[in-house]
Amino acid sequence: NAGVTQTPKFQVLKTGQSMTLQCAQDMNHEYMSWYRQDPGMGLRLIHYSVGAGITDQGEVPNGYNVSRSTTEDFPLRLLSAAPSQTSVYFCASSALETQYFGPGTRLLVL
């Protein structure tokens, strides 16, 4: 099992550009989540999904969209990137009371 995979590992965007952060898991987990990590703030939940076709907002959803068409994939879309979205993004899937995290995507918005 590859676990939770994320692509790309690093991305530079200009303000106003859009992009999609990819996340996939091969553990057949129903629950998937996106977090952003900023210095001194821990991880904050952006969006989460309890199964294919079902998503909901977390603590900091503004500026981000998600969809869940399959159990395996949970992409995060930035519609119009802003410098405030410079961060490290982690995708996670969960089952049996444990969340498994991907390696992260480091995003820099200029």
Partner 1 sequence: AQSVTQLGSHVSVSEGALVLLRCNYSSSVPPYLFWYVQYPNQGLQLLLKYTSAATLVKGINGFEAEFKKSETSFHLTKPSAHMSDAAEYFCAVSPYGSSNTGKLIFGQGTTLQVKP
How many residues does this entry show for the chain? Answer: 110
Single residue of 49, 81, 87, 107 touching partner 1 by CB under 8 A: 49
Q: How far apart are CA 32 and CA 54, in angstroms?
A: 10
Single out the residue of 37, 101, 49 nearest to residue 75, CA to CA: 49
Q: Considering the complex, state which of residue 33 and residue 85 has its C-beta at the smaller distance from partner 1.
A: 33
Cβ-based nearer residue to partner 1, 14 or 39: 39
Instruction: By CB under 8 A, tell whether 64 contacts partner 1.
Output: no
CB 103 → partner 1: shortest distance, Å? 5
Sign of the torsion formed by the C-alpha atoms of 70, 107, 34 and 60: negative
How many CB atoms within 10 Å of residue 92? 22
Kindly tell me which residue out of 1, 2, 62, 96 binds partner 1, with binding defined by CB under 8 A: 96
Residues facing 105 on adjacent strands: 89
Query: Which chain residues interact with partner 1 by CB under 8 A?
Result: 4, 30-33, 35, 40-45, 48-50, 58-59, 90, 92-104
